[in-house]
Chain A
Amino acid sequence: MKAMRLRNNLIIAVCLAVLYFGIAYAMKQRMLSSFHQVNLYLMGINIIMAVSLNLIVGFTGQLALGHAGFMAIGAYVSAVMTLKLGQPFLLAVLVGSLATGVVGVLIGLPPLRLRGDYLAIATLGFGEIIRGLLININYVGGAAGMNGIPKLTTWTWLFIFTVATVLLIKNFINSSHGRACIAIRENEIAADAMGINTTFYKVLAFSIGAFFAGLAGALYAHYFFLIQPQTFTILKSFDALVMVVFGGLGSLTGSIIAAVAITVVNAALQSLGALRMVIYALLLVVVMVFRPQGLMGTKEFTLRTLLRQKGGSGLHDYRKQVD
């Protein structure tokens, strides 16, 4: 079993390396057009957004509607670090993400001590408050936002951060802390009775999700070089939520597939003008009607499935483990 896991990890590492060097080579040889590159970066940022929101909504079962607000904090803090204070990119990204994580704790603590949908309302308001604050802070440009942020998000950084996000969240979910979060999603009272500190784990998951949303924001700011309060509206939060629901609540691979698919569909529909959003919405409705649990449900697409190795049906189901 251990040898097999090692082999599987090796295969994944090789696949990732091939993906990384393949795309880096294609970029260097100009085989990948600039337009495809822009969408590649959007894909990476969307994957981080969807996977981190899935940890909160899909795995811990807490509906949060303020992911764009966290993204905004990460984007603004990191942009201030590089543009105004002249700090290096890596430090800016880390400070931006950490600041977002801290804000996540502060925002999450009061509503997460309660049961029910209070978090949804609190985060909804939080997202708007952040936007309102940013409009009124002249230091970061007010309504006009910050322009001319250095373009420091390279393919290497994007790749490293995207893979790291997915790996860290996957390992968190597979740890005992992650199991506690899943237990809270399944039945909060039962989890409480089992001795799980529900508030602690809810806030933990929430602030980890916020941290990575801040990371996505920092990468966004340093690729699209222009950030404005109006970029981070409630619609941006819904975009991330749509990806999570579309891919399956409680499936990391589902979120990744959904983030990639939605980015591609979005780009493909650019030429349709006003019809674009209608078709986009129609696609989502079709999926939700025929696949209410999302593309992947709570299942994960793993190497075991692909190689049909030992482990029953092959699809890895977190819900089964909890039962």
Chain B
Amino acid sequence: MKIVSKWIIMLVLLTFVAGMVVGCGGSQTQTPAPAQSEGETASSEPIKIGVNYELSGAVATYGSHTANAIQLAVDEINAAGGVLGGRQLQAIVLDNKSENAEALSVATRLIADEQVVAHLGPATTGNTLAVVPVAMEYKVPVLTTSATSPDVTVDPQTGQTREYIFRTCFIDPPQAIVGADFMYNVLGLRNVAIYYDNGNDYSKGLYRVFKEEFTKLGGTVVAEEGYVDADQEFRPTLTKFRDSGAEGVYVPGYYQKVALIISQAKEIGLDVPFVGADGWDSPDLVEIAGADNLNNTFFTNNYYSQDDSPKVQDFVKAYTDRFGSAPDSFAALGYDDAYLLADAIERAGAADPEAIKNALAATKDFEAVTGTMSFDEQHNPVKEIAIIEMVDGQQVLKTKIAPK
């Protein structure tokens, strides 16, 4: 037995060593390749793009849906003849475990070792912030999909736009502005309550902007309360909202809690419109809250999967055929990310990070699944925001509003 177990240790150690050789060897053999390709400009070698996403860990669903859609888009682009007159795109997909340190490690590997011409991802603000200095140091453009904090593209200390960082999602303030506009002008509400997630910057940010905007329009916020992650019981607060005479409630949270809040509101007879933001977008919202309870609720979102435009329908069909489920906004943004990059490489005329960065910054009226977009000076996309209404458990497009 003792001898057997000794052999097993040897085997495990060998696996480690093999892992080391594979892990290091892989990047070592590939390092010289880009150096050669730099010399011959009109080469037919594939163009390497880095894909750094959360494929495991806390927000693995965001990352894997986005990475799936990126792979889909890259395959489509390659099948259609690639970019720059026939060069193929090669997506190098690595997992960052939804951790900051790991995201930095992956970005370093992609940018410094693999020498990618552009870096896509990650999905969350924290992980993207960890990537930013690497991109700035090596001067390689980063195109994130769903990192919504303003700090990602603008340095909060200097107020300067970070030259190499772009994103395809809208940031939080326009969402709250459109939400307030919608509640005041479209639904015609004057007195609303706000229920936000106190442990979450996304939610707190939306709450602040919404309150400011709604008051500016002439409405009154009659009640406001925060909840925390561990809360399961929302009835006392909701009763307070009911008694305060709120005609509508703004809930800028994530779908797990939102679903509980809405179903408990219906239980206590608070039958007013609920409005939220893109954190609501999940099939689980209907699962948890129930289709009936969700009638008369709305949320702002990046895109609408039932849009009849052929671009959206082709994407939805291709994604559903390949991955077996309908694409969410993360997937739609990932798909747009890859196409926008291909477009920028084409416009730059070369697979060169600096030229691609300039082309990205000059993006104007790019036709994407999530709407026609242009970049503003802070590298945020300017595009219309969709307002989705839940009707018997189905998402229906209510209207589209451009933030003012």
Q: Is A38 close to B, CB under 8 A?
A: yes
In this complex, what residue of B is CB-closest to A128? B230
Contact B23 A268 (CB under 8 A): yes
Contact A273 B126 (CB under 8 A): no
Q: Is A267 close to B, CB under 8 A?
A: yes
Chain B residues, CB < 8 A from A277: 56-57, 97
> Which of B8-16, B188-196, B295-303, B372-380 faces chain A?
B8-16
Q: A35-B27, A144-B125, A261-B16 are in contact. Are A274 and B199 (CB under 8 A)?
A: no
Q: Is B64 close to A, CB under 8 A?
A: yes
Contact A274 B113 (CB under 8 A): no
Q: Is A135 close to B, CB under 8 A?
A: yes
Contact A33 B126 (CB under 8 A): no
In this complex, what residue of A is CB-closest to B4? A290
Contact B199 A267 (CB under 8 A): no
A249-279 Cβ-contact flags toward B at 8 Å (1 or 0) = 0000000000001001111111111101100
Contact B95 A265 (CB under 8 A): no
A37-49 Cβ-contact flags toward B at 8 Å (1 or 0) = 1110010000000
* Count of A interface residues, CB-CB < 8 Å: 45
B118-131 Cβ-contact flags toward A at 8 Å (1 or 0) = 00000001100110
Q: Is B93 close to A, CB under 8 A?
A: yes
Contact B8 A268 (CB under 8 A): no
Contacting A at CB under 8 A, from B119-147, are 125-126, 129-130, 133
Counting residue pairs across A and B whose Cβ atoms lie within 8 Å, the total is 121
Q: Is B160 close to A, CB under 8 A?
A: no
Q: Is A148 close to B, CB under 8 A?
A: yes
Interchain nearest-CB distance for B99 vs A (Å): 7
Chain B residues, CB < 8 A from A144: 125-126, 149, 151, 201
Contact B104 A291 (CB under 8 A): no
Q: Is B101 close to A, CB under 8 A?
A: yes
In this complex, what residue of A is CB-closest to B67? A273
Chain A residues, CB < 8 A from B9: 290-291, 295
B1-38 Cβ-contact flags toward A at 8 Å (1 or 0) = 00001001100100110011011101100010000000
For the complex, give the distance between the alpha carbons of A249 and B163 in Å: 49
* Count of B interface residues, CB-CB < 8 Å: 51
For the complex, give the distance between the alpha carbons of A142 and B205 in Å: 12
Chain B residues, CB < 8 A from A295: 9
Contact B27 A226 (CB under 8 A): no
Interchain nearest-CB distance for A83 vs B (Å): 11
In this complex, what residue of A is CB-closest to B99? A231
Q: Is B251 close to A, CB under 8 A?
A: no
For the complex, give the distance between the alpha carbons of A250 and B109 in Å: 35
Contact B94 A224 (CB under 8 A): no
Contact B199 A224 (CB under 8 A): no
Q: Which residue from A135, A231, A276, A291 sits with its C-beta under 8 Å from B8?
A: A291
Interchain nearest-CB distance for A161 vs B (Å): 17
Contact A274 B95 (CB under 8 A): yes
Q: Which residue from B16, B93, B109, B149 sits with its C-beta under 8 Å from A273?
A: B93
In this complex, what residue of B is CB-closest to A224? B101
Contact B12 A287 (CB under 8 A): yes
Q: Is B112 close to A, CB under 8 A?
A: yes
For the complex, give the distance between the alpha carbons of A143 and B104 in Å: 19
Q: Is B60 close to A, CB under 8 A?
A: yes
Q: Is A193 close to B, CB under 8 A?
A: no
Q: A147-B151, A290-B9 are in contact. Are A270 and B109 (CB under 8 A)?
A: yes
Chain B residues, CB < 8 A from A145: 126
Interface residues of A (CB under 8 A from B): 33-39, 42, 132, 135-136, 142-145, 147-148, 220, 224-228, 230-231, 261, 264-274, 276-277, 283, 286-287, 290-291, 295
